[in-house]
Structure 1
Amino acid sequence: MTDLERKVYRIIYNMSRFRKNPTMDDLKRKTGKSEEKIRAAVKSLLMKGELKWDKLSKKWII
């Protein structure tokens, strides 16, 4: 897992557990990275099976 993937994973984990699902603006603000890099990191995490998206409840499964 790269540093950006780890950072995005922790942000999604913490926000979804204690508050809400993070928006792209939340992720951009907290990581300081562009939308393209964040999307690539999330896609990589999904492909590795680290994250899953539940379409019915619209929440991340970690």
Structure 2
Amino acid sequence: MTDLERKLYRIIYNMSRFRKNPTIDELKRKTGRDEPTIRKAVRNLITRNEIEWDKEKREWRFK
């Protein structure tokens, strides 16, 4: 897991604990990265089964 992926994982995990899903703008502000880079890192986390989006509950699941 890269540093950015680890950082995004922690941000998403911590924010989702309080029932708030981070927006892309919040992730851009907290990481200092651009949108395509963030999307690619989140996609990598999903493909490696580190995180999963539950469409019914509209929340993240963590492995």
Question: How high is the TM-score relative to the length of structure 2?
Answer: 0.95
Aligned partner letter, 1:29? R
Q: Which amino acid aligns with 1:9?
A: Y
Match of 2:45 in 1: 45
Specify which structure has the higher proportion of helix.
1
Q: State the match for 1:26 in structure 2.
A: 26
Q: Please name the residue that 1:13 is paired with.
A: 13
Aligned residues: 62
Structure 1 runs (4+) deviating above 2 angstroms are: none
Q: What is the DSSP-based 3-state SS (H/G/I as helix, E as strand, rest coil) of the residue aligned with 1:53? A: strand
- Unaligned 5+ runs, structure 2: none
| TM-fit CA distance, 1:19 | 4.3
**Larger CA deviation: 15-24 vs 52-61:** 15-24
CA RMSD of aligned residues (A): 0.7
